[in-house]
Amino acid sequence: MPIMFNTLLKEAGVPVTEVRLLRHKDKRATRGRSPYELWRDDRPQFELYQSFQSIRNRPKLSAPYWAVFIVNLNDETMFGGLYGVQYRGLLDRDLPSPHVKNEIAKAGTEDEYELTVDPVLSDLIGRLFIDWGPGALAWVHYADRHDKRITELRTAFQEEAFPGFLNFIQPLSKLSKLPVSWTTALKSSRGVYLLTCPRTKEQYVGSATGEEGFWGRWQEYVHTGHGGNVALKSRDPSDYQVSILEVAGTSATVEDVLRMETRWQRKLQSKDMGLNRNLARGLDHQQT
């Protein structure tokens, strides 16, 4: 028999008719500023993010309580807290958007709410996960009409541990959403990596020799689409999958890493059948 979220509300003495369920997953968010990343890294900005809402949503949001859920990096719906809600009126000032760079919420164009975390169910924040159901596009639900099945209760909030360099596989589009511990590990290491195009299945073998290691090198692809590589410049940008083929030792020189790179290019035949071009090293090896 599944345990339902409304059961927890009732046991805590919270009338389900007075609760709205909110699921925060904003596709417009600037890289690194998704609702989950704000919640994880900058809680005041997350609270600001949800404190002003579109006027058209006022009828749906009018309730004494919001049970807030946040979609994490694994697309799981995580409980973010039960909030007491008080409508304050129209936004009385221009306000920079916490989640969209260079966007301003203009005074008088948004509703503003005062939100206070209720101690009820606070011990479940970051630990409880639910199945939102098929209506993912509907980010506001009435609790008494949409009871949610609890899928997991974890012992503590904890992001997935770094899988290790040789097990690391991610698309470029998700690099900015990685936990800080992951980016720290990637910045601290140099070596040889593999890009795979999801459309053509072609491969590119490259090396990271700069101060910020794999992370710094991959950010060039994120920002430019080609990272300065001649073959990739000639193609449409792609959400390449990145993985690590070999990690260089701390005493390895740049020349050592480039020899490792050449060895992997030969093994995978990425010059003959992939995206590596047979060009002068100065063109085909632009490192960070």
Read off the pLDDT band of 237 (50, 70, 90). low
Examine the pLDDT at 143 and tell me if it is beyond 70.
Answer: yes
Mean pLDDT along residues 196-202: 86
What is the Cα–Cα distance from 288 to 278, expressed in whole angstroms? 20
Q: Is the pTM of this model over 0.85?
A: no
Examine the pLDDT at 287 and tell me if it is beyond 80.
Answer: no
What is the Cα–Cα distance from 181 to 119, expressed in whole angstroms? 30
pLDDT in the model for residue 154:
92
pLDDT in the model for residue 136:
66
Mean pLDDT along residues 130-142: 88
Q: Using an 8 Å Cβ cutoff, are 222 and 276 in contact?
A: no
* SS3 of residue 85 by DSSP: strand
pLDDT tens digits along 79-104: 999 999 999 999 999 999 999 999 99
Whole-number percent of the chain with pLDDT over 90? 69
- Greater confidence (237 vs 95) lies with 95
pLDDT tens digits along 41-60: 899 999 999 999 999 999 99
Read off the pLDDT band of 64 (50, 70, 90). very high
Examine the pLDDT at 228 and tell me if it is beyond 70.
Answer: no
What is the Cα–Cα distance from 277 to 202, expressed in whole angstroms? 13
Cα 7 to chain center, whole Å? 30
Neighbouring C-beta atoms of residue 20, cutoff 10 Å: 22
Read off the pLDDT band of 174 (50, 70, 90). confident
Q: Using an 8 Å Cβ cutoff, are 151 and 131 in contact?
A: yes
pLDDT in the model for residue 231:
62
Residue type, 277: R
Residue type, 243: S
pLDDT in the model for residue 212:
94
Residue type, 71: V
Examine the pLDDT at 195 and tell me if it is beyond 60.
Answer: yes
Q: Which of 152, 248, 268, 249 is nearest to 203 (CA)?
A: 268
Examine the pLDDT at 286 and tell me if it is beyond 80.
Answer: no
Read off the pLDDT band of 159 (50, 70, 90). confident
Read off the pLDDT band of 284 (50, 70, 90). very low
What is the Cα–Cα distance from 54 to 91, expressed in whole angstroms? 10
What is the Cα–Cα distance from 159 to 182, expressed in whole angstroms? 10
pLDDT in the model for residue 226:
61
Q: Using an 8 Å Cβ cutoff, are 133 and 5 in contact?
A: no
As a whole number of Å, the CA-based R_g of the chain is: 23
Average pLDDT of every residue of the chain: 89
